[in-house]
Structure 1
Amino acid sequence: MLADPSPLLLDGRLVPAADGRTFPTIDPATEEVLGHAADASAGDLDRAVAAARRAFDGTGWSTDVALRARCLRQLREALRRHADELRELTIREAGAPRFLTFGAQLDAPVEDLGWFADLAESYAWETDLGRAEPMGMPSLRRVVREPAGVVAAVTPWNFPHQINLAKVGPALAAGNTVVLKPAPDTPWCAAALGTLAAEETDLPPGVLNVVTSSDHALGARLVADPRVDLVSFTGSTATGRAVMRAAAEHLKKVFLELGGKSAFLVLDDADLKAACSYAAFAGVTHAGQGCAITTRLLVPRDRYDEAVEITARTLGRLGPGDPHDDSTVCGPVISARQRDRVEVYLELALKEGGRFACGGGRPADRDRGFWIEPTLVTGLAADARAAREEIFGPVLVVLPHDGDDDAVAIANDSPYGLSGAVHGGDPDRARAVARRLRTGTVSVNGGVWYGADVPFGGYKQSGIGREMGVAGFEEYLETKAIAEGTT
């Protein structure tokens, strides 16, 4: 399915970088070089944007709903046919635990393409507002929804298929053309998407372009390009600010899905063992490399020590482990750079007065790969940096609270507002607490909010706009009002 080196997808053709350059992609569990990807230059990016612009302005793609739906279903079928190869690729390149590839790391986002194809066919592209006489002038009015144009999709490495498809799927369904610029850490996942789109679908040339590169500056160049109409970015809050500044030059639409430091609230009537065990599992899944993962565990003060014991014991059974193993929950972090970042925060936690109830560093039995033990930090104040800043590793901080009001205040005292969780014995009480959290998604007593039909995004510095669901689809649309004079 995928050549080594993997190609770019430019204007419907699978091609190497113009200057022939490549860069390696690394297995984070072993540090083995898996292969190489085309290392695009500014010239390659220019070709991609030009192709997307031509395809939007000069073809019928933006108005042909039937073609768009057919192509999305073809892409879904192609991804299904190659699921076994893609599963192995995702485990090796992203370090994703195998069990996750049957959900959000692969299978779920592939199936979501069908939902967006269905939505495009059933969506109310025009709304009749009827006849009116503003200022005495008889008029027939309607509202038309149209694609935004050329979309720059800039994506991270942690859930490559999910995030790539969560942008490409609705953007194409809405009638846009796309230039996808994936993270340098997972180029093969994106190149596989481009390869299947080119070889196994009827997508017209230029509608989807995939540009892999080791140069982070290429993403900034794409965002700033005046031929791009809309930017869809997922990544850190710091980079999101830079994206907004670059997009402001041309006042283009921007969707941002950014960082999080989400809180897991255990109420005093909850089953403490069940809640803390669940929090441990959720907090270190995929080595904690998820923006919506709950990494602040808030527990009743009078049961703090018991909660620490339960959570630490559970974490001790969760890894780290080989991501190929069906039982692994916590695999490696993506790179040496990310491992070093996590270690800096672990050192900071100790300096701030914290202690490790378990973990706290690299596992002694692994001398290759980018590994961090599942770690529980105790003894920190709620305003400590390690308790407030996104670490993006398998690190939970446990904090005491003095009742529902205090727990909500601690949870909301954050620059972020992406996700959260509430566990309590009384469902009505737990729901009431969840309604008070200033976050875009909340899980109550283990409920799963992820789905193609569910809008995902954050409050505050966790982002702007929504991805997935009808709301996410509509991020890729413009609104036009048309009034026709009558006698």
Structure 2
Amino acid sequence: METLALYVDGQSTPPAGGDYFDSIDPYTGLVWSRVPRGTAHDVDQAVRAAHRAFTTGAWAEMTPTQRGRLLYRLGDLVAANAERLGELEVRDNGKLLAEMLGQMRYLPEWFYYYGGLADKVEGAVTPPERPEMMHYIRYEPIGVVAAISPWNSPLVLTVWKLAPALAAGNTVVVKPSEYSSASMLYLAELFEQAGFPAGVINVVTGMGNEIGEALVNHPLVERIAFTGGEGGGRAVYQAAAKSFKRISLELGGKSPNIVFDDADLDDAVKGAVAGIFAAAGQTCMAGSRLLVHDSIHDAFVEKLVAFAGSARLGDPMSDDTDVGPIATRPQFEKVLAYIDIAKGEGAKCVLGGERVEGLGNGLFVKPTIFTEVKNSMRIAQEEVFGPILSVIRFKTDEEAIQIANDTLYGLAAGIWTQSLERAINMPAKLRAGTVWVNAYRVVSYLAPFGGFKNSGIGRENGKEAIREYLEAKSVFINTKRGVPSPFVMRLPSVVNTEG
């Protein structure tokens, strides 16, 4: 049993209220750590520490190159501690160790990429439009960033925020999910080992309704980066609007995975399974709507059911396990409720559709496939965040596009085809932030990630992400003496270029 501590102003510290809550291993059902239940006072201390670090001291005086070197050093430490970080995540959220280790071993690339990018953010001198006036553009960090992350991939989705924010010169207060806080608190110690000055990174754990609001509304927080559900994102967006805080939101999805009649069916079956049953469907980019061409529907579903039905459920720490438990009891109950909703709507359950008794702590749901789904059904329109797949028929490319886009979300989409024409032209017609062709659930530090419509605002990863944490400033310098009439805005004279 571990008792964890908050990380504020470069120090591990107990919560101001002295309260803790239990972190429960989803597989065993056993309490394995005690997590600090932070208060609004803890949030205030963390934000003020971040603000001090941003405005004064070593971090504020560092060059972009020096910040980049710290990020490189941090990347090396994460690589050296990947196994420990991966195990912590499995104990918190029940995902497969194989997946979590893969994520942790890839995670350093974000620190290397943005460490290298830190001193590549360049301003510009604009061409002169008036002889006496010089103008240039500089990019400056915004200030204190609040990073709020979910429970399903805690460190990856936090680092997507941390790395570009720090490369840009900001300071950060992280609020991890109350269901998966341990790995972020451990990562904070690696920041200290890497040599980051006190206050640059702070971690406050606790309940969203107790400290999330205090963090979002804090007057010294200038920007909010949030990943989570649509409801939480809407609340954060509304709160941020009160004081015009900069914001990015990475929210939910109801992503279509489209299988055309010319697809390699074996590859497409694996792609469909990767899209929804990997991570037990607990991923924002889940391909939860499988659109299958009418001419191959029956044969494809038969292959899919056989393959998905062979998935092995069990201990996520075991190499033999394909599907782990649902991460939390509330999420488990939500998934079961949607199975009942789908059956009530008339969808046909051809695989699974029930809980698994006698396995671990009992938070297991069999991989579930519904056919005869209409896109208007709740099971096809609402995010479940579990191992439930809705199969929808289509007959033409135009119908596939119409069905794929007929949702409030627009996070991701998959296309399975051997047609070069479709592979090139179809992505432009899908209203989604990421489109995979003959692949699914692929991400990269190089590739911007985010959604259209209700799937969010802004982008994470790639060069675009660092711009999200910078403000553009225009600077005008008058190079000549003599100021014209102060009662008239200073505009250039228009040159007549006609005849």
- Range class of TM-score, shorter chain: over 0.9
Residue identity opposite 2:82 in structure 1:
A
Residue aligning to 2:196: 203
Structure 1 moving runs of 4+ over 6 Å = none
Residue aligning to 2:474: 481
Instruction: Supply the distance in 1 between the matched residues of 2:439 and 2:424 (Cα, whole angstroms).
Output: 12
Structure with greater Cα Rg: 2
Instruction: Supply the distance in 2 between the matched residues of 1:140 and 1:468 (Cα, whole angstroms).
Output: 34
Residue identity opposite 1:431 in structure 2:
I
Check if 1:145 corresponds to 2:136.
Answer: no
Could you report, residue by residue, the CA deviation over 1:374-421 in whole angstroms, capped at 9, with x for unpaired residues? 110112211000111100001111000011110110000010000010
Residue aligning to 2:5: 7
Residue identity opposite 2:458 in structure 1:
G
Residue identity opposite 2:128 in structure 1:
R
Could you report, residue by residue, the CA deviation over 1:38-81 in whole angstroms, capped at 9, with x for unpaired residues? 11111111100111111112235245213311221222122222
Residue aligning to 2:272: 279
Of 260, 270, 295 in structure 1, the residue corresponding to residue 288 of structure 2 is 295
Residue aligning to 1:107: 105
In the alignment of these two chains, the number of paired residues is: 479
Could you report, residue by residue, the CA deviation over 1:149-208 in whole angstroms, capped at 9, with x for unpaired residues? 11010110100110111111111111001000000000101111112223x121111111
Residue aligning to 1:123: 121
Residue identity opposite 1:174 in structure 2:
A
CA contact (8 A) 2:40 2:210 kept: no
Instruction: Supply the distance in 1 between the matched residues of 2:28 and 2:7 (Cα, whole angstroms).
Output: 29
Residue aligning to 1:399: 392
TM-score by length of 2: 0.93
Instruction: Supply the distance in 1 between the matched residues of 2:195 and 2:187 (Cα, whole angstroms).
Output: 14
Structure 1 pair 279–258 and aligned structure 2 pair: CA distance change class (3 A): same
Residue aligning to 2:239: 246
Check if 1:356 corresponds to 2:349.
Answer: yes
| 1:84-483 equivalences in 2 (<5 Å) | 84-103=83-102, 105-124=103-122, 126-133=123-130, 138-198=132-192, 200-366=193-359, 368-446=361-439, 449-483=442-476
Structure 1 pair 14–177 and aligned structure 2 pair: CA distance change class (3 A): same
Residue identity opposite 1:55 in structure 2:
A
Instruction: Supply the distance in 2 between the matched residues of 1:447 and 1:213 (Cα, whole angstroms).
Output: 34
- CA RMSD, 1 decimal: 1.6
TM-score by length of 1: 0.95
CA contact (8 A) 2:448 2:465 kept: yes
CA contact (8 A) 1:130 1:142 kept: no
Residue aligning to 1:55: 53
Task: Indicate the SS of the match to 2:163.
Answer: helix
Task: Indicate the SS of the match to 2:233.
Answer: helix
Residue identity opposite 1:69 in structure 2:
G
Structure 1 pair 478–60 and aligned structure 2 pair: CA distance change class (3 A): farther
Instruction: Supply the distance in 1 between the matched residues of 2:60 and 2:300 (Cα, whole angstroms).
Output: 54
Aligned identity (percent) is 37
Task: Indicate the SS of the match to 2:288.
Answer: strand
Gaps of 5+ in 2: 481-499
CA contact (8 A) 2:29 2:360 kept: no
CA contact (8 A) 1:268 1:403 kept: no
User: 1:354 deviation in Å?
Assistant: 1.1
Gaps of 5+ in 1: none
User: 1:25 deviation in Å?
Assistant: 0.9
Residue aligning to 1:21: 19
CA contact (8 A) 1:330 1:394 kept: no
Residue aligning to 1:46: 44
